[in-house]
Amino acid sequence: MVQHFKPQIFGDRKPVYDGKKNIYTVTALPIGNERVDFEVTIPGEGKDRIFKVSIKWMAIVSWRMLHEALVSGQIPVPLESVQALDVAMRHLASMRYTPVGRSFFSPPEGYYHPLGGGREVWFGFHQSVRPAMWKMMLNIDVSATAFYKAQPVIEFMCEVLDIRNIDEQPKPLTDSQRVRFTKEIKGLKVEVTHCGQMKRKYRVCNVTRRPASHQTFPLQLESGQTVECTVAQYFKQKYNLQLKYPHLPCLQVGQEQKHTYLPLEVCNIVAGQRCIKKLTDNQTSTMIKATARSAPDRQEEISRLMKNASYNLDPYIQEFGIKVKDDMTEVTGRVLPAPILQYGGRNRAIATPNQGVWDMRGKQFYNGIEIKVWAIACFAPQKQCREEVLKNFTDQLRKI
């Protein structure tokens, strides 16, 4: 849009967009106070899409008011100025990476952390602008989240259903398998592979009960007559494609009432789809192991992110006259001494904790008390921890 209307409206300005309804420019656009409407054509999947865009001047956002608020500390920080600054800092990253909230993620390069079930770990960074004592601070931290792996839908189904080799699955899916598969793939975007370079995308709304060899839909012939045709027959006649897995179900895509069915083998999971569904216990454990970092490693990773971001070379940040210091802010602090512990017993030994730990072996509490009431809360599934095991544990604990 900016490139298309650059001569008439934007000129040499580099506007930044918040992803919703606000754009910011360093100087006012030559449109006055009236709303300006125009059409923007964006290449689509199969055909171009035309959008109507309206622009209207709203207000002036002042850096000066923000500076005065930070320096004086007496007047409230103008939130609209902080928001505009944050949008300018995030604009280029929003185009380079996959944004999720205040974080940005990119596909795995040089690492691979599968979570199982067609999911994997993507690493990225969190970014936000915050007002500090007398200046604005850029808050950056490493982050990670789960994405769906870009792969053929057949392979995705095998991961979800724990099928090692699809060629060893000659029978249709059972009802329980179909329900599990539907739960995972419903709502995801897939792209087709049988139309050459035109990778049209669809959103999955359901998985058919019947396999492609038996799933029918109303097909209108050139004569105007409507006949029932199976999905397998249609792909053979229309695309000369003999399905390899006609015994597997189809994906129903788009609107349910339109009866658009696609065989699993002609679909791929679209890349860059964040997993918003709850992770399993095993996936959560794998995620924690993959993202655990020591403080020095975390600091090194953040410094690397800053170097790669090259904020001071960002044309949009330069446009708004913003400069970012590459080094982390140093804060003076002190380490409080560990409290001295005194044990009970005859010796009344004294100990100083080291690295936050101390040794209680062969020691007594300074003042012991009688525990009259206690309870155990077990959050493990019953399959993993049976009630009789808990009862045995409590019986043994009472004897101590």
Looking at mean pLDDT, say which of 221-225, 231-235, 365-369 comes out highest. Answer: 231-235
Q: Tokens 């602008």, residue?
A: 129
**Assigned domain for 61 exists:** no
Q: Is the pLDDT of residue 199 over 90?
A: no
User: For residue 269, what are its two tokens?
Assistant: 């999971």
Q: What's the pLDDT at 347?
A: 80
Structure tokens at 153: 């839908």
Give me the mean pLDDT over the 180-189 stretch.
97
Q: Rounded CA gap, 32 and 216, in Å?
A: 58
pLDDT bucket at 383, cuts 50 / 70 / 90: confident
Q: Summarize pLDDT for 105-129 with one digit per residue, the tens.
A: 999 888 889 999 999 999 999 999 9
Residue 382 has pLDDT above 80, yes or no: no
CB neighbours of 290 closer than 8 A, spacing ≥ 6? 113, 121, 144
Residue 47 has pLDDT above 80, yes or no: no
Residue 161 lies in a domain: yes
Residue 197 lies inside a defined structural domain of this protein: yes
Q: What is the residue range of 188's domain?
A: 151-270
- Residue 230 scores a pLDDT above 70: yes
* CATH number of domain containing 197: 2.170.260.10
Nearest CA to 119 among 267, 265, 273, 291? 273
Domain-located, residue 59: no
Whether the per-residue pLDDT at 369 is higher than 90: the answer is no
* Number of Cβ within a 10 Å radius of residue 173: 21
User: From its phi and psi, is residue 117 left (phi > 0), alpha (psi between -120 and 50) or beta?
Assistant: left
Q: Residue 118 falls within a domain, yes or no?
A: no
313, part of any domain: no
Any domain includes 57: no
Q: Total domain count for the chain?
A: 1
Query: pLDDT class for 46, splitting at 50, 70, 90?
Result: low
**Structural domain includes residue 245:** yes
| 188 Cβ contact list (under 8 Å, min separation 6) | 148, 203, 204, 269, 270, 273
Q: What is the pLDDT of residue 45?
A: 65
- DSSP H/E element including 80: helix 79-96
